[in-house]
A = this chain, B = another copy of it.
């Protein structure tokens, strides 16, 4: 298991949670850097790491900062 940046997010409902996930998805395509995610209903868990580098890179910290602005 590589080092990574992880965070849990809780929203009012599924609609809000999926809107958040969609914003991350758009960002992922744009950056060509894809988060690991999991969730159920109003909860979303995000994990960022760079597989090829075996840990956390600038791509991960940059994406983490962007994701924080989506809340």
A residues neighboring B (CB under 8 Å): 14-15, 18, 21-22, 25, 28-29, 34-41
Contact = CB atoms under 8 A, between A and B. Distances in A.
Copies of this chain present: 2
A14 B34 contact: yes
A28 B13 CA distance: 12
Contact of A22 (B22, B35, B41): B22
Contacts of A38: 36-39
Given A14-B28, A18-B25, A22-B22, A37 B40 contact: yes
Contact of A29 (B14, B35, B40): B14
Contacts of A39: 36-38
17 contacts: A14-B25, A14-B29, A15-B29, A18-B25, A21-B21, A22-B22, A34-B40, A34-B41, A35-B40, A36-B38, A36-B39, A36-B40, A37-B38, A37-B39, A37-B40, A38-B38, A38-B39
